[in-house]
A = this chain, B = another copy of it.
Amino acid sequence: MDNFTFYSPTYFVFGRDTEKETGRYVKRFGGTKVLIHYGGGSAVRSGLIDRIKASLDAAGVAHVELGGVKPNPRSGLVYKGIELCKKEGVDFVLAVGGGSVIDSSKGICIGACYDGDFWDFYKSDRFVEKALPVGTVLTIPAAGSEGSPDSVVTHEDGMLKRAAHGEPLRPAFSILNPELTFTLPAYQTACGATDIMAHVFERYFTNTPEVEVSDRLCEALLLTMIKETPRVIEDPCNYEARANIIWAGTVAHNDICGVGHAQDWASHSIEHELSAQYDCAHGAGLAVIFPAWMKYVYKHDTDRFVRFAVNVWGCKKNGTDPEKTALEGIACVERFFRSIGMPTSFAEIGAKEEDIPKMAKKCFDEINGDTTIGNFVKLGEKEVADIYRLALNN
């Protein structure tokens, strides 16, 4: 196990009706004037924004609002939010929505405390050291941004999808009410579930030996997702299944199952080019990329893929032919994604073979001159293109 630090100071408030406590928590964490940031009209139409405003009013917290965040959030709205915060003297940003809204909010939090361009932290490895505090009311379990120190935004100039990192980006509090996810359509639910599982995969496939705690925690979260996801696809108002998914999504990405070992994250980079290029859902892109990535890398550590097949997917270990077990596990991943309605091939998300060279190249733009991505297996531009090609024919 490698040396590490782990610091997850977010105050999680979980359960029915918890959004009514928003005002109290904003106040507790020092907010006096809040920007309520959200996406499309559903948060408004459902009455959620009104309930939150009432809660803020009751706590004596002033507020302004900015809606309109789109999936794969764009820099344009972030700039607008920053301007609004500076003009209005906002001291706390409240994200009401899923990962896109939260990540857009975090971009605003960075920019509101910074004289330069907020994008400076996305286009480089420079850590965020100062930002306005952010709180969240989560409506889509997927990105894990409600407990993570990360934000992913797409810059409209070149459609570059990039991430910023830093402890100040961990939300002060996150309100997780499973009922708010009842209205999520099946497809979006499945995309979220795929994203959650992908966050675990990125941590599970590591070369660091002897990380039994993390390995077991990763397996625990995957087993949960495999059990609960089909239940919510079948019955969208199943509170218990929704509850387990939303909590698994948070735990999957607050890094408790990722400490003490190298993580991979190549598949996320490879996917980002897909969703930036074709505006597909991030989860759908991951369902396409991950089986291809697994087929490409499994021989690097067949034992780990055998463990994955046995402990996560319940495959029987083939003593004489471990490779067969490894491949069976990967087939289970693909079959599972398909069973919850996810695409697993390039064509299904509108991706085109002729774009592969361009996307493979873009993966390496603006990442400080690194010539590889990933850790489990280091991948250069050629290897990334090979993985896109494998995804063509999944």
Contacts and interface: CB of A to CB of B under 8 A. Distances in A.
A248 B5 contact: no
Contact of A256 (B14, B227, B228, B256): B256
Given A11-B7, A213-B248, A260 B243 contact: yes
Copies in the complex: 2
Nearest to A6: B12
Interface in A315-336: none
B5 A14 contact: yes
Nearest to A214: B247
Nearest to A228: B212
Which size class do A's interface residues fall under?
35 or more
A81 B23 CA distance: 40
A199 B256 CA distance: 18
Contacts of A84: none
A116 interface: no
B216 A224 contact: yes
Contacts of A178: 1
A241 to B, nearest CB: 8
Interface in A203-222: 209-213, 216-217, 219-221
28 contacts: A1-B14, A1-B15, A1-B178, A1-B247, A2-B15, A3-B15, A4-B12, A4-B14, A5-B11, A5-B13, A6-B11, A6-B14, A9-B9, A209-B240, A210-B244, A211-B244, A212-B223, A212-B224, A212-B227, A212-B244, A213-B247, A216-B221, A217-B217, A217-B220, A219-B220, A247-B259, A247-B260, A251-B256
Interface of A: 1-16, 18, 178, 209-213, 216-217, 219-221, 223-224, 227-228, 240-241, 243-244, 247-248, 251, 256, 259-260
